[in-house]
Amino acid sequence: MGEIDFNDTKTAFISKTDSELRKARLLFSVMANPALVNLGKNMVNLAFSLRIPVDWAIRPTIYAHFVGGRSLAECDPIVRKLGSHQLKSILDYSVEGKHDEASMQATLEETLRSIRHAAANPDIPFAVFKPTAFAPASLLEQAVPGRLPSDIAGYQRFKESVDELCKAAHALDVPLMIDAEDSWYQHLVDETVEEMMIKYNGSKAIVFNTLQMYRHDRLQYLGELIQKARTHGFRAGIKFVRGAYMEKERERALKMNYLSPIQPDKQATDGAFNNALMLSLRNIDVIDIFCGSHNEESNLLLAKAMDENGLAKNDRRIWFAQLYGMSDHISFNLAKAGYNVAKYVPYGPVKSVMPYLFRRAEENTSIAGQTGRELSLIRKELSRRKSG
């Protein structure tokens, strides 16, 4: 495998100028303070509600750090910049979906554009979409496993939209990742994605499902999916993440008096995530692996296991990925070592992606060690440059 050093800050921040690093240091310093994050969120929301123009203040700061631009075209400079350092980009339309017909149609058209855009640029190896952008609230609220929703028309439109996107991705040979959702209607997504895999994957993984491994049932689901792939003769594409809705999931389970779908602790989540990677690697003949993780241990585990199994670092069936603006020490060092690495690059108008940005800020504030790790690496690199 060779040595992968996630403490190599020269490689981690090779794409950033001194000025950009100082801005990042200030940004993560602010995000280390929950009170400041909450104050900023409230002030921005108030400005939007009063229709006070604040785009000019947001764009050069948190928006520029975590978002690629307002449109696909605006992301091109970042795609080229990452590509020059052997990193690929995945452009994610991060506008929070509204469920009226016009909004769903607009999101469908934008997602189709993103698929075509990826097909035309080798530095964009995947497209992605959030399935609830095409599901009306009435459909999601009545979702019950094992039972068709009464909103048959909405359900049919949802499946037709997903099929249209998967069909386009298949025609253009662009792998398409479908994000995970809240557990109480994830079964709607799982069922639909499996249908798309059978229909479009064949010998190549075009359609990818996403498994949130902080759910205690996902490892079992993975095993069942692998068996279905063998039975039906398709390649399963899976993006592995730890998860994004933990507090909401636990609160809903407590309120509605059912067993929480969330693992009992972080150790269990980490174990499930790593076990899922190893199970997939043992079944690499029928599954493509997309490791979406900011966890150093999990990334090193997969890289080492690839080497031990005699797999090439650039095996096209295995990808590593982190969010744009985070964990550059993982992304850039893995890419330098020769692995397939992509950055998830959100895009969209400033106001529309603010919910995404608030989540990034709150996530960095709440995840133990995340902001501290980013800050220590940035400070280390600034010190290295100053002394060097």
Identify the pLDDT of residue 363. 66
DSSP state of 148: -
**Under 8 Å between Cβ of 298 and 291:** yes
Cross-strand bridge partners of residue 177: 128, 208
The token pair at 298 is: 């999990």
Cross-strand bridge partners of residue 324: none
Q: Higher confidence at residue 101 or residue 141?
A: 101
Confidence category of residue 2, pLDDT binned at 50, 70, 90: low
What is the share, in percent, of the chain residues with pLDDT greater than 70?
Answer: 97
Q: Where are the alpha helices (H) located in 346-369, listed in sequence order?
A: 350-366
CATH of 72-349, one of 3.20.20.150, 3.20.20.220, 3.40.50.2020, 3.40.50.1970: 3.20.20.220
DSSP state of 89: E
Lowest mean pLDDT among 86-90, 214-218, 361-365: 361-365
Confidence category of residue 116, pLDDT binned at 50, 70, 90: very high
Q: Tell me the whole-structure pTM to 2 decimals.
A: 0.94
Identify the pLDDT of residue 366. 55
- Mean pLDDT value across residues 6-23: 96
- Residue in the structure block whose two tokens are 């996902």: 218
Identify the pLDDT of residue 270. 96
CA distance 375 to 370: 9
CA distance 382 to 215: 39
Whether 97 shows a pLDDT value over 80: the answer reads: no
Cross-strand bridge partners of residue 288: 237
Domain boundaries of the chain, sorted by first residue:
72-349
Q: What is the pLDDT of residues 230-242, one digit of tens each?
A: 999 999 999 999 9
Identify the pLDDT of residue 35. 81
- Mean pLDDT value across residues 218-226: 98
Confidence category of residue 101, pLDDT binned at 50, 70, 90: confident
Identify the pLDDT of residue 100. 84
Identify the pLDDT of residue 142. 77
Identify the pLDDT of residue 95. 85
Confidence category of residue 145, pLDDT binned at 50, 70, 90: confident
CA distance 357 to 54: 15
CA distance 78 to 71: 12
Whether 183 shows a pLDDT value over 80: the answer reads: yes
Whether 132 shows a pLDDT value over 70: the answer reads: yes
Of 108-122, 126-140, 367-381, the range with the highest mean pLDDT is 108-122
The token pair at 282 is: 């043992």
- Mean pLDDT value across residues 73-98: 93
Average confidence score pLDDT of the chain: 92
**Under 8 Å between Cβ of 345 and 24:** no
CA distance 177 to 183: 18
Whether 217 shows a pLDDT value over 90: the answer reads: yes
Cross-strand bridge partners of residue 345: 91
CA distance 118 to 376: 35
